Amino acid sequence: MLANWGAKYRGDDYPTSGNINILGRLMIRKEWDSEQGARIQIIFNNLTLQGYSGIELVKKVKEIFLPNNSGSASISLAKEQDDAEFVEKVMAATLTPDNPIRAVVIKHYKERKSSQDISVELCKLTGIELENARTRIRWASNLSEAVIFNQMLEEMEKENLSLAA
């Protein structure tokens, strides 16, 4: 659920997705073979001949190569949106904006930074040793997941009680 929250409020699916284009993301999400690469090339060429270019071309290739218009995809997307909004509500209630643990969660799930990158950033900000920073980031990640999970359970119990009444 935290990954959905990060994707909704940031938009990336993978830590490195900001560094690659749509084709790279397609290659990561699926098992890749040369047949799929050839299929994308054919789609690109045909759409270019039809007059598509730039962002329109990339969007159209994505629509053809990975169609997402089914009813089940819409339901799945709606559920992911609801989950992300639920996590945002729990985050706001649980971790105050000035809480350093919240900062770690945001860096990890929204900014898609790895624990190593967050540790290095902490070293630069505070001057502590890298190993100490790693330990603190690991502790903050574990604690935040436990706190958020417990708060989610409490919120769901409240919701179930209100529905039962």
Confidence of residue 16 (pLDDT cuts 50, 70, 90): very low
* Mean pLDDT comparison of 10-24, 59-73, 94-108, 122-136, highest-scoring range: 122-136
Give 102-165 as a DSSP string.
Answer: HHHHIIIIIS---HHHHHHHHHHHH---HHHHHHHHHHHHHHHHHHHHHHHHHHHHHHHHHHH-
Q: pLDDT (tens digit, 9 = 90+) per residue, 21-44?
A: 445 545 554 455 667 677 777 887
Higher pLDDT, 28 or 145: 145
Residue 14 pLDDT level (bands cut at 50, 70, 90)? very low
- Top-confidence residue, 130 or 73: 130
For residue 17, is pLDDT > 50? Answer: no
Sequence spans of domains, the chain = 1-81, 95-164
Question: Given a cut of 90, is residue 156 above it in pLDDT?
Answer: no
Reported confidence tier of residue 135, pLDDT bands at 50, 70, 90: very high
Average pLDDT (83-98) is: 86
Helix (H) or strand (E) holding 61: helix 54-65
d(CA 152, CA 136): 24
Closest residue by Cα to residue 105 from 140, 139, 133, 70: 140
